[in-house]
Amino acid sequence: MDKVVAITGASSGMGLETAKLMAKAGLTVYGGARHLDKLRGITDVHSVKLDVTDTASKQHFVDTIMKEQGRIDILINSAGYGELGPVENISMATAHQQFETNFFGAAELAQLVLPIMRHQRGGRIVNISSVGGDIYSPLGAYYHASKAALQQWSDTLDLIRSVVVQPSGTRSTWGAVAREKIRQNVPNGSAYADLAELMTTTLADDAQGMSATSSDLAQVIFKAATDVIPKRRYFNAVRDRVTVFVARALPNIFRRRLQHSLE
């Protein structure tokens, strides 16, 4: 496949695995990340320093690809993290940072590549959301809100061909970051201490719900990026699809199941 791919969040997790998989398949891959050390040893991936919360950095990322390749066929917005903690403890500055990374970073990159794709008369944007864009769980208010925003935005953008990948629990650096955010946002003696302990356990790499690997998700993202007739949503497992269906179509049942899991 003679296509040029731009991937954000490419230094770890599913972003890294997707970059390697696409390069192995023969695509020209540019991986953008704040920390490039994990990309430097991968000769088939062009690494470019990228901070998705910085406009100049995003412009440089796109300009570099266009200068060297003259086109961008696929944009994969993979950069993201989970800012977990009680709403009353998370500052508005921190909440803004969550949206800057998970939503506005993707939106501005799309704004930069859309004229390119329109000129090319073709292109695809793959937005990595989460089942968390449709469901909710304790301590995840801003994370869930940012992913829901990404999905609604992507569906509107879908007139050009924008699709959404919705992973569930994945054994990757995402879980480690989320657990650390809980520890940072729940101070000693907090009224939410027991809930924080429960959620930290739920997000452990060996927990039952954290069954997928970054390599599993890379396969899903690759399919979303290369399907001749793409679907609106991509899931890794049937269970993930069913969870989203229940949350949207049967919200009372979903809520009772969630409350039961917290007892």
Between helix 251-261 and helix 238-249 the angle, nearest 10°, is 110
Which value, to the nearest 10 degrees, does the dihedral of the CA atoms of residues 142, 218, 29, 71 take? -70
CB 90 within 8 A of CB 189: no
CB 86 within 8 A of CB 72: no
Q: Catalytic residue at 38? A: no
Q: Where are the alpha helices (DSSP H) in 121-250?
A: 141-157, 173-185, 193-202, 214-226, 238-249
Q: Which of 12, 47, 78, 129 is catalytic?
A: 129
Q: Which of 78, 147, 162, 181 is catalytic?
A: 147
Token readout for 6 is 């731009």
- β pairing state of 170-171 and 212-213: parallel
Q: Which of 30, 143, 192, 234 is catalytic?
A: 143
* 21/223 Cα distance (integer angstroms): 11
Q: Catalytic residue at 129? A: yes
Q: Catalytic residue at 192? A: no
Q: Which of 3, 11, 154, 181 is catalytic?
A: 11
Q: Which residues are designated catalytic?
A: 11, 129, 143, 147
